[in-house]
Chain A
Amino acid sequence: MSLKQSILLLFMLLLIGLNANAQSVNNNTNARLHGIQYRQPRGLDGSPFLSNDWLETKITLYNEEIAEGVLTKFDCLNNDLVFYHNTLKNLFIIDKSTVDTFTIHKNNQQLNFIKYKGTTVGYKFKMMILFTLHTQEKTIY
């Protein structure tokens, strides 16, 4: 064993020693999404969705859980987020009461949405909210 190898061994052992207590108990649970089954609207000409592709979305829930990589479509007509449930193999509209924010990833772009409470509860594209706040044209509830 050369001197270099010895020094390497020393550092490796040191690292092992320092990290001996670093194994953690995984307390995180997967975020659970709740929603109502999605039904295709009748008599609609065109698509209600922001994008017709299923886009990966990061959803932050009110209980601070985060669901990442969820395939969603944003329904602009009804202001709803539709997601594909992998286990139940079905489409559901996520309960607005459970969502805090979500970010849709589209072609290296991030579309951030936040929830607002007005006369009805819905989602707003974050830039629109910032613009509204800046111009002070409307009151945000």
Chain B
Amino acid sequence: MILKHKFLHTNLFILSLFLISAGQLYAQPKLFVQTSKNFYVSGEEVDYKCTLINPDSSELYILHSDICGEEKLITSQLLNASNNVWKGTMALPDTLQTGVYLLRCYIGDQIGKPIIATQLISVLNRFNNNSVNELRKKKTDYFPLDGRGYIKTEVQDLLQITPKQVRIKANNTLELSIRSEIDHIAGDLSLSVYKVDESVQHVNTNNLQPYSENDNIHIYNSLVLSGRLIDINAETPATKQTILLSSPDSLANLNYAYTDSLGEFKFHFNKLSGTQDIIIQTLNQQQEYAIELNPAFLPPPSIIPYYIPDDVENSEFCQLAIMRATVHQAFSKDSIVSSSILNNRYPFYGKTLNRIYPDKFIPLDDFAEISWEILPLVRYKYSKDSTYLRIWDTESNTVFNNPWALVDGIPVFDLASLNVLNSEKINWIEIQTQSRCYGDVAINGLISIQTKVGNFTELEMPKNAIRHKMQTFYQAKQKIEKAGTIFSDVLYWNPSINMANNSTNVSIKTSYEKGTYAAVAQTYDQQGKLYQTVSLIKVE
């Protein structure tokens, strides 16, 4: 009886362990990345789509994506929270050397661990800048990669592309019919029609380490700027200090955070887009501090053991690609990037009726003169030993002895540095004569100076401050189409095909470029199984 019980207990224990691991496996989220093509020329754009399957929570994720070389981040972007499907475009720099690069897309799971999808892309430099690729050819642990073809997969009956014509003339209209019988598609169906070398088929052997492992890696599911504050004299983390974050703007915005017991601080943002020019500084000006910022993206991989072999580099396919990219660069119109979104309609110090334009008065040589002559309620005295700024509050009949001073929205605590600002440099000056609270920050009087340049370049960087170009959410470019692309290797790219009634018809305009094109339709089911079908079309 005892033996029987023990046997039962052991079985229950094994069963529980099995159920736990099975449950975790089932809940494992997976991320997939697809691109409009595999082979690029420097200066071109990489269109991609990312799909998340089995998300581990109902919250929306933001997507980090980048293109890496060995130990080098080439370009990166953040895509806003979306319904588990993201579509983005990243531009390859024109100076990018010939070689094999890694496209990475990742999200941070609930504990900040990255869930990552990768794809290798081949890039040719159109100015024949290929010294790195040449070096790699000589290394024995690097392998050739031919990206001219398409990824070979098993034939699948559930997803089909039927072209109306298998052979078509250049500058004509191609009709494709797509039919899908897949139950429960995850993240839409994508279709890309791009030029390939039909003799090249390869399997996706992407098993390299996508980033250098590091214990401190933490991918936040929000737009975060984090870092550490070090006390330079004591060489220790500075705790319980207030860190101020602001950006040069005529509408002054201020954000602040506190350092924790490790000297670390974190700023969260919601609606920022584009690249933001920010200045981070300490409120405490008594000590000397160093501010270190944590990278927002994963460290690049230390090795990408692939190269583009000679026969590929010298092939007609690649030479044509370079010529096409050059023509495209020369004749394509610039895109328009939308401007960033402002957080507030009012400056953080509230509305004020006291705004003075020095241009309306006689030119004054320095700020001491300006304050004396034209600033009501303000007294600024400058001397080499001590400089002070005072603001008079008429309502309470009090004087603020330590008011805040802002230049282009950036707090300036070294009051002596203001004196270089004269009538020629200043656009306007606002005076706030109230006592206010901005969260936990007390503002007892404030003077805000907006320079004509407006980007905080008239003054030197304040003490304990750093300037940083922060990458925030990517905003899709508004592309201006010309009469039609004359030469193009990607005839069609749609990451989300509308598949009403499980079928659709697509009309595609072929370019003047002749050759073999692959129409590749891809999607995933809820279990993460890839469904891909390829149909080859000849443009003659």
Contacts and interface: CB of A to CB of B under 8 A. Distances in A.
A122 interface: no
Interface of A: 1, 3, 6-7, 9-10, 13-14, 16-18, 20-25, 27, 29, 32-37, 39, 63, 85, 87-88, 90, 92, 95, 97
A97 B346 CA distance: 9
A39 B395 contact: yes
Contacts of A39: 395-396
A33 B350 CA distance: 12
Contacts of B342: none
Contact of B110 (A25, A37, A63, A88): A25
Nearest to A22: B110
5 contacts: A21-B56, A21-B109, A27-B268, A34-B437, A39-B395
Contacts of A22: 110
Given A6-B9, A39-B395, A97-B346, A23 B437 contact: no
Interface stretch (B10-18, B326-334, B380-388): B10-18
Given A25-B110, A25-B218, 17 more contacts: A3-B9, A10-B16, A14-B19, A14-B20, A17-B19, A18-B23, A21-B110, A25-B221, A27-B220, A27-B222, A33-B439, A34-B348, A34-B438, A35-B437, A36-B350, A37-B437, A88-B440
A1 B442 contact: no
Closest 3 CB pairs of A and B: A17-B20, A32-B439, A37-B435
Contacts of B110: 21-25
Interface string B10-51: 001101110111011001000000000000000000000000
A87 B440 contact: yes
Nearest to B257: A29
A12 to B, nearest CB: 9
B8 A17 contact: no
Contacts of B345: 97
A37 B19 contact: no
Given A6-B8, A25-B110, A16 B439 contact: no
Contact of A92 (B9, B24, B437): B437
Most buried by B among A6, A18, A22, A39: A6
A128 to B, nearest CB: 27
Given A21-B110, A39-B396, A32 B440 contact: yes
Q: Which of B17, B57, B343, B439 has the most CB of A within 10 A?
A: B439
Contacts of A88: 437, 440, 442
Given A9-B16, A13-B20, A3 B437 contact: no
Contact of B12 (A6, A18, A20, A33): A6
A3 B17 CA distance: 17
Nearest to A29: B268
Contacts of B376: none
A87 to B, nearest CB: 5
Contacts of A14: 16, 19-20, 23
B436 A36 contact: yes
Contacts of B20: 13-14, 16-18, 20
A74 to B, nearest CB: 18
A28 B110 CA distance: 14
A10 B439 contact: no
Interface string B422-445: 000000000000111111101000
B5 interface: yes
B270 interface: yes
For A6, A34, A35, A88, which residue has the most chain B Cβ atoms within 10 angstroms? A34
Nearest to A31: B439
Contacts of B436: 34-37, 92
Contacts of B439: 32-34
B363 interface: no
Given A14-B20, A25-B220, A27-B220, A36 B435 contact: yes
B347 to A, nearest CB: 11
A13 B27 contact: no
Given A6-B12, A34-B348, A39-B396, A17 B24 contact: yes
Interface string B338-379: 000001011010100000000000000000000000000000
Contacts of B268: 27, 29
Contacts of B108: 25
A88 B348 CA distance: 17
B111 interface: yes
A127 to B, nearest CB: 29
B144 interface: no
A117 to B, nearest CB: 13
Given A14-B16, A21-B27, A95 B221 contact: no
A36 to B, nearest CB: 5
Given A16-B20, A27-B222, A39-B396, A63 B440 contact: no
